[in-house]
C-alpha cells in the first residue's frame, strides 16, 4: 500500500459547484499536510498547508485534516474555470532537514466547466 | 530573472546516452530537490541536497547522479538513459529551516524528457 492515496479522477464539475478533493494516508507520523495546485505543463505551487488536525480556510478554499481517520480534504467553494488544474496532496513528518521531505499523492485532475 | 529555472525544457535522447538536466535558483535556498512525475505514480523524490556538497537519496535514485558544487545549482545526470526514465522532471528548492513559512518547496517549470 502506498503511503498516500489519492483518487486521480478526472473530476468534472460545473462552474459554481462545491468541489471536494481527498487523500488518505497510512502513516500516523505525518504532521504537516499540504495541497499543491499544478496547472497544465507547469510546476506545482503551494495552495494551502495545515499542521496536525483541524480546518484552515483561505478564501474559497478550506483544508481539513482528520488524523484519527488518516484523511485529509480540500474543499473549493464557488468553483471557477480558473480552478481547473491537478491538485496534489502532500505530507511530511516534520519541518527542516529530511523530516520536511514531502510525500505526494498522485494528484486529482479537476475540470470546472463554464 | 529571480526564481527557479530548469533547462532544457524539452529533451529527446536515445537509450544509453548521458543526459544532464540543469536547475538554478536565485533565492540562496539551502535545500534543493529533484522529482520525477509519471502518470500513475505522481511526484517521486529522486535526490535532494541540504547544502553545497551534501546530497542524499530519495525514493527512486537508481540510474541518476547529482552534484551540488554551488548553492544555486543542482544538476541531475542520467548516466546511461533508459526508456523507463522518460518522464517530466521537476526541480524544487526550500529554505527548510524548520518553519512552515520557510519550508515551502518552490518548483521549477519542469523538463520533459523522452528517451527513445
Cβ contact B56–A98 (<8 Å): yes
Q: B115 CA to chain A: closest CA distance, Å?
A: 19
Chain A residues inside the 8 Å CB shell of B100: 32, 49, 51, 95
With bands split at pLDDT 50, 70 and 90, how would you rate the model's confidence at A37? very high
Q: Of A13, A31, A33, nearest to A105 (Cα)?
A: A33
Q: B9 CA to chain A: closest CA distance, Å?
A: 10
Cβ contact A106–B40 (<8 Å): yes
* Residues shown for chain B: 116
Q: pLDDT tens digits, residue range B54-65?
A: 999 999 999 999
Name the grid cell of B27: 533565492
Q: pLDDT tens digits, residue range B19-73?
A: 999 999 999 899 999 999 998 888 999 999 999 999 999 999 999 999 999 999 9
Chain A residues inside the 8 Å CB shell of B94: 100
Chain A residues inside the 8 Å CB shell of B99: 95
Q: pLDDT tens digits, residue range B82-99?
A: 999 999 999 999 987 777
Q: A96 CA to chain B: closest CA distance, Å?
A: 4
With bands split at pLDDT 50, 70 and 90, how would you rate the model's confidence at A9? confident
CA distance linking residue B4 with residue B16, whole number of Å:
29
pLDDT for A101: 85
Neighbours of B106 (CB within 10 A): 18
Amino acid at each position: 500500500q502506498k503511503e498516500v492515496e489519492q483518487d486521480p479522477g478526472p473530476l468534472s464539475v460545473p462552474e459554481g459547484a462545491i468541489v471536494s478533493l481527498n487523500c488518505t494516508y497510512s502513516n500516523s507520523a505525518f504532521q504537516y499536510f499540504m495541497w499543491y495546485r499544478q496547472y497544465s505543463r507547469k510546476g506545482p505551487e503551494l495552495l494551502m498547508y495545515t499542521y496536525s488536525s483541524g480546518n484552515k480556510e483561505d478564501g474559497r478554499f478550506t483544508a481539513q485534516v482528520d488524523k484519527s481517520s488518516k484523511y485529509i480534504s480540500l474543499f473549493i467553494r464557488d468553483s471557477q474555470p480558473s480552478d481547473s488544474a491537478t491538485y496534489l496532496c502532500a505530507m511530511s513528518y516534520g519541518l527542516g532537514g529530511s523530516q520536511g521531505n514531502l510525500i505526494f499523492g498522485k494528484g486529482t485532475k479537476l475540470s470546472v466547466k463554464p | 530573472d529571480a526564481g527557479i529555472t530548469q533547462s532544457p525544457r524539452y529533451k529527446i535522447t536515445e537509450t544509453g546516452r548521458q543526459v544532464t538536466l540543469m536547475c538554478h535558483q536565485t533565492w540562496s535556498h539551502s535545500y534543493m530537490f529533484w522529482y520525477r512525475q509519471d502518470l500513475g505514480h505522481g511526484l517521486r523524490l529522486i535526490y535532494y541536497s541540504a547544502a553545497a556538497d551534501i546530497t542524499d537519496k530519495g525514493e527512486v535514485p537508481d540510474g541518476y547522479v547529482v552534484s551540488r558544487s554551488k548553492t544555486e545549482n543542482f544538476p541531475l545526470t542520467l548516466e546511461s538513459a533508459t526508456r523507463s526514465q522518460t518522464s517530466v522532471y521537476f526541480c524544487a528548492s526550500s529554505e527548510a529551516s524548520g518553519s512552515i513559512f520557510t519550508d515551502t518547496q518552490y518548483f521549477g517549470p519542469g523538463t520533459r524528457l523522452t528517451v527513445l
